[in-house]
Structure 1
């Protein structure tokens, strides 16, 4: 059944309204990235719309008509929306699917172990709350266990750099990424608690392994299964992975304020998506996760009468819990609380509505 003239007019009006809305919510995002980017997308979209229109009307060979103008406008609006869509998707991720980390309370019936899941880069509010909990736990007599792989021999450090495609000081790298992404590095907030470790080693403990221990464990695994050696990424010894990241950070540091704001919003979305995924299978995880989990469980077992508060990467918890239960089946999860690790900034600007004097 053919639509009436009024129905066609209404549908066309609705269609143009939707296209206008799509363009209005997409164009500012591309403008913030670069006015040239917006101009290029609009131009390419208009040309694509024209090409499709001309291809459909080619036999008629008509001169320029309002239909061609409409085709150009439709193409420009649609392509602008398509290019902006993935950016919008990333920007909205922290609000739609917040990256939550657990705080799990464990007990074997005699003492309590609290595991606070961490991320290397997160929101300032999150780290402030963790630091406050650490101080409270220390005042209550808990032993504080901190994550932090200790330096190793030059050979071991070179192996880890090549295996992880990094280039040395990962902490400095995390701090730079935090600055670019409008986030914070965990070391900037927990260091003030750890700095007294030498004064109170009984209650402040860096419970992690050294790079040398990780390297020795990898060598042991490779000796038992030589095929593992082929799973590590090839390296030419020039640190290409770090060079690329360093170059990207340098470019980001030179962006305009509006571009930095957009990049920070996109970064938060990327962190929410990537860190929210389950840990992917990786042969190196047998050292980075499994080996360190075993050592952490051994450290917990070495203090049978102490309540312990642990700050470790969230990915470590499942393996740590398995290791604890393997040592003593009495270990149980007593409670779990969740905290968003990436939050909107808590700084806001407003205006007081004061009555005139």
Structure 2
């Protein structure tokens, strides 16, 4: 008698505990999701309530039909619990992706190398760069550049030089029909990040005083066009692959830059809360994307290999102490190119820097 009556009682206690945990989790989800909903706009919680009430109707009907215990409770109570549960699920669906994207820069940061290379005669510090990144990263790079200048280093900068002979080809083939600097600046504004050239302007005074210590070591748009033509003449399939990879010609002058301009205009018109959410999503996605191992591109022979060869020539012909700021993807190919002519080139040391991080906002009182 005691055993038989104890079993149902045990099951009831288990159901009660499970229900308590479930409702606790539902409330936690709602509380965690509320800031996201409020950042979306005042209308988001209202939409959530209306949606939960509507979606709860068929679920409420099924619950009352299937579970006898629920029929013993008042219909209003069961419907309220069902609507609360639906609201928690919808909130979870909306908020989880944003919380995941917010966590990516901290959990799986996008890191950039600062490698010191040497062949026993020359010392080259290679600072891997990203076109748009966090303020702290660029300030750290500028600090290292200023320190290197005091130690008699010559700075080699990345930056494809304009040339009327190749500018249009470069814009159409590599820049998506827009200006790269403008595109990067707008993308940085959308993501709550900065464009690297903004911080290099801190060196303008030194560049004016000692221009020989600051060298644009990159190629020109015409150089890249001529390399493209050379590769196309040697391998007709190369040109065919490049043409096949090109997007269809945009209508009405639409370009990648135009799309970014539209996105930038939308962000500018958004509320501060919406801008914050867009920045979180963009930084998380960029960190994830840049952290992926990129597949070889048909344009790599021009974008990477050709420029690496030209940079290696400038290093071989240049001074004994060089500090380079170049895209991080160039480092493996550059080292391989240097070793092809001098096997003594080695990486002596390397440190890693976080390229994308959440902007820090501090409050205080005076």
Q: Secondary structure at the match of 2:279?
A: helix
**Any residues of structure 2 matched to 1:189-228 within 5 Å, and which?**
189-193=199-203, 197=207, 200-223=210-233, 224-226=235-237, 227-228=240-241
Q: Which runs of 5+ in 1 are unaligned?
A: 353-357
- Tell me the alpha carbon deviations over residues 98-149 of structure 1, each in whole angstroms, 9 at most, x when there is no partner: 2211100001111110000111111212111111111111121111100111
Deviates more, 1:281-290 or 1:131-140: 281-290
Alignment TM-score, normalising by the size of structure 2:
0.87
Distance 1:323 1:51, change over 3 A: farther
- Tell me the alpha carbon deviations over residues 162-195 of structure 1, each in whole angstroms, 9 at most, x when there is no partner: 3346343221222233233322211011134256
Structure-2 residue corresponding to 1:338: 352
Pair member with larger Rg: 2
1:275 equivalent to 2:286? Answer no
Task: Supply the distance in 1 between the matched residues of 2:49 and 2:328 (Cα, whole angstroms).
Answer: 43
Deviates more, 1:182-191 or 1:329-338: 182-191
More helix by share: 2
**Any residues of structure 2 matched to 1:47-66 within 5 Å, and which?**
47-55=54-62, 64-66=75-77
Task: Supply the distance in 2 between the matched residues of 1:51 and 1:152 (Cα, whole angstroms).
Answer: 66
Task: Supply the distance in 2 between the matched residues of 1:150 and 1:170 (Cα, whole angstroms).
Answer: 12
1:172 equivalent to 2:182? Answer yes
Structure-1 residue corresponding to 2:304: 289
- Tell me the alpha carbon deviations over residues 285-326 of structure 1, each in whole angstroms, 9 at most, x when there is no partner: 2211222111111111122x5211000111111111111111
Deviates more, 1:144-153 or 1:233-242: 233-242
**Which of 249, 258, 262 does residue 243 from structure 1 map onto?**
258
Does structure 2 retain, via aligned residues, the 8 Å contact 1:43–1:76?
no
1:26 equivalent to 2:33? Answer yes
Task: Supply the distance in 2 between the matched residues of 1:131 and 1:153 (Cα, whole angstroms).
Answer: 31
Q: What's the offset of the Cα at 1:42? A: 4.2
**Which of 2, 12, 15 does residue 8 from structure 1 map onto?**
15
Does structure 2 retain, via aligned residues, the 8 Å contact 1:45–1:78?
no
**Which of 157, 162, 166 does residue 172 from structure 2 map onto?**
162
Q: Secondary structure at the match of 1:28?
A: helix
Does structure 2 retain, via aligned residues, the 8 Å contact 1:163–1:232?
yes
Task: Supply the distance in 1 between the matched residues of 2:47 and 2:309 (Cα, whole angstroms).
Answer: 54
Q: What's the offset of the Cα at 1:207? A: 0.5
**Any residues of structure 2 matched to 1:177-192 within 5 Å, and which?**
177-192=187-202
**Any residues of structure 2 matched to 1:145-160 within 5 Å, and which?**
145-153=156-164, 156-160=166-170
Cα root mean square deviation, aligned: 2.5
- Tell me the alpha carbon deviations over residues 33-84 of structure 1, each in whole angstroms, 9 at most, x when there is no partner: 2232343344334433433443566699x89553333222211111111111
Q: Secondary structure at the match of 1:202?
A: helix
